[in-house]
Amino acid sequence: FQESKIKAAPFVVVFDLDETLYFQHLKPQYAACADFSSTLGNGKTNYIKKAPYAEELIRKVVALGGAVVLYTANDDSLTMRNLDNWIVDGVPL
């Protein structure tokens, strides 16, 4: 969380992660269509499918000078694991 960047931005776009920027499933049959995965603390794998053009949208907001805030009502540790594995331009989201 970089509060100073958010305060300095001319505008802020808030995205909900779940079912907006990505879809996540624990079922192995989703592995084939996943864009990336996260290993959970219980040893299970969480398969993540990014929404179409999610990364392009984030890049566009940043290119226009805006700040992006990601929101989720999901478990913080799961979300951070997912974001650590979602790489955009060589950097974890």
0.75 exceeded by pTM: yes
> pLDDT digit string (tens) for 25-70?
888 889 999 999 998 878 889 999 999 999 999 999 999 999 999 9
The residues facing 36 across adjacent strands are 48
Q: What's the CA dihedral at 16, 17, 19, 24 to 10 degrees?
A: -160
